[in-house]
Amino acid sequence: MDLAYGHKYEAFREEVRAFLAKHKDQAPGSLTAAGRPSPEACSWQRQLIQNGYATRAIPKDYGSYGAMPDILESRILAEEFSRARVSSALQNQGISMVVPTLLELGTEEQKKKWVKPMLRGEVVWCQGYSEPGSGYCW
């Protein structure tokens, strides 16, 4: 059994490596400042989105790259950013939970208003959970 990625994916890997070699000095050391993305992190996020290295499969209409979902490309991105010791994309509840929900169930108005600012780190979403009766002594 041949488990090699194949030419298409190795070419993608080389593209990612070339990008990182050229731009890794622009990556922030930390993505957050006081719980919010730093200006440097937001700038890095915009650059990653523009090149298809963050939020890759979210449609262009909502401020992203618009690629087809591809698990091997996602794996290669994770491997190469880790290998280069470079901060990857912003990760938060807005991007991982709210954006997919809006894309699936939101109105067009909601998508246009919220998705792009969340992807770029301009809007940060926090979601709290509680159990019934938690924190109360009756």
pLDDT in tens, 53-80: 999 999 999 999 999 999 999 999 999 9
Say if CB 31 and CB 88 are below 8 A apart.
no
The DSSP H or E segment spanning 16 is helix 7-23
The per-residue pLDDT for range 82-122, each reduced to its tens digit, is 999 998 888 888 899 999 999 999 999 999 999 999 999 99
Instruction: Residue 119: count other Cβ atoms within 10 Å of its Cβ.
Output: 25
Extract the tokens encoding 32. 């957050």
Domain boundaries defined on the chain: 7-88
Query: In this predicted structure, what is the pLDDT of residue 30?
Result: 74
Instruction: Render pLDDT for 16-45 as a digit per residue (tens, 0 to 9).
Output: 999 999 999 999 987 666 678 888 999 999
